[in-house]
Amino acid sequence: MRVTKLPAFKVFVVLAIAVSMSACSMFGHKKDTNDTLPVDKLYAKAHDSMEHADYSAAAKAYQRLIARFPSGDYNEQAQLDLAYSQYKDNQSDDAYSTVNRFIKTYPTHKHVDYAYYLRGLINFDRTGGAMERLLQPGDPQTRRDQGFNLKSFDDFSELSRRFPDSAYTADARQRMIYLRNLLAQFEINVAEYYLRNKAYVASANRAQYVIEHYQQAPQTGDALAILSRSYLGMEQKALADQTRQVLALNYPDHPYLNDPKWPHSPSLLRKAIPFSGHH
């Protein structure tokens, strides 16, 4: 039998068509099913991505589900899961917007307590980068702006107040204690800075703020000591002695009672360390 040989150009065209058809078939098979799956299977797909820590894919699937099916139980749960996926994918602003929208839209939802808890977590984890952690001594959170910590504290506080029996409340209260101590230490750091620079009114105000707002925090003793020293700096000896007596009564082992120059200024070497928080 005679075999007909195709010219090289025709062979190339045939191969190109075959490859093109194969590619179309392949891409058709891999077409994004977020636009075609029914709601239950689309939710299952998104949930599976979330369970396998593919939070970016999960967020995309949840967003498509919410757009395609704007009502119903799947939509409501998808909004919560979307907020969590965005949170885990380090999309803090998007996650915060999503969970806020859920709380406003479904204030009586059976899982709204979790939404308040998640909102607190989102702000709780909005911390600085790795470089800041490496360069700053101690806990770097006590030397940066405390706006997110304040928001997180308020979120957990609202959860505790609205849902005292929630499964998330015990953890929220522990985080509130941690945040309270961070906020108190931040005020102490600022008060020490003012004290070192002989801005006694400012240091007294910061110390007084800790005493009034963070009474259970361990930094209250430091606040009393700074307040006493600030009064001395302002030549208010009677107030300084009175404050010192309160310190001795409540914190008999505080170093200021035996060292009137506490807190000491940092060494010149420590001041020279970039981002040390001592200026």
Least confident of 24-38, 46-60, 65-79, 213-227: 24-38
pLDDT value at residue 30: 46
Reading the block at residue 45, the tokens are 């797909």
pLDDT value at residue 126: 86
Residue 72 reports pLDDT greater than 60: yes
The larger pLDDT score, comparing residue 215 to residue 43, is at: 43
Mean pLDDT of 76-89: 97
pLDDT value at residue 127: 60
Alpha helices by DSSP H, listed for the chain, are: 8-29, 39-51, 55-68, 73-88, 92-105, 112-124, 130-135, 147-162, 169-196, 200-213, 220-233, 237-250, 268-272
Mean pLDDT of 142-147: 66
The larger pLDDT score, comparing residue 271 to residue 60, is at: 60
Q: What percent of the chain has pLDDT over 90?
A: 72
Least confident of 89-103, 121-135, 145-159: 121-135
pLDDT value at residue 75: 94
Residue 230 reports pLDDT greater than 60: yes
The larger pLDDT score, comparing residue 251 to residue 126, is at: 251
The larger pLDDT score, comparing residue 29 to residue 146, is at: 146
List Cβ<8 Å contacts ≥24 apart for 52-60. Answer: 53/88, 55/85, 55/86, 55/88, 55/89, 56/85, 56/89, 58/82, 58/85, 59/85, 59/86, 59/89, 59/91, 60/34
- How many beta carbons lie within 10 A of that of residue 171, not counting itself? 15
- How many beta carbons lie within 10 A of that of residue 80, not counting itself? 20
Mean pLDDT of 139-152: 71
Residue 229 corresponds to which amino acid? R
Residue 154 reports pLDDT greater than 80: yes
pLDDT value at residue 144: 57
Residue 28 reports pLDDT greater than 80: no
pLDDT value at residue 10: 53
pLDDT band with cut points at 50, 70 and 90 for residue 132:
very low
DSSP state of 107: T
**For the purposes of burial, counting CB atoms within 10 Å of the CB of 100, is it exposed (0-12), middle (13-18) or buried (19 or more)?**
middle
Of 127, 136, 130, the C-alpha closest to 178 is: 127
d(CA 20, CA 200): 79
The larger pLDDT score, comparing residue 244 to residue 147, is at: 244
- How high is the mean pLDDT of the chain? 84
Mean pLDDT of 202-224: 96
Radius of gyration of the chain, Cα coordinates, nearest whole angstrom: 30
pLDDT band with cut points at 50, 70 and 90 for residue 12:
low
d(CA 49, CA 214): 43
DSSP state of 136: S
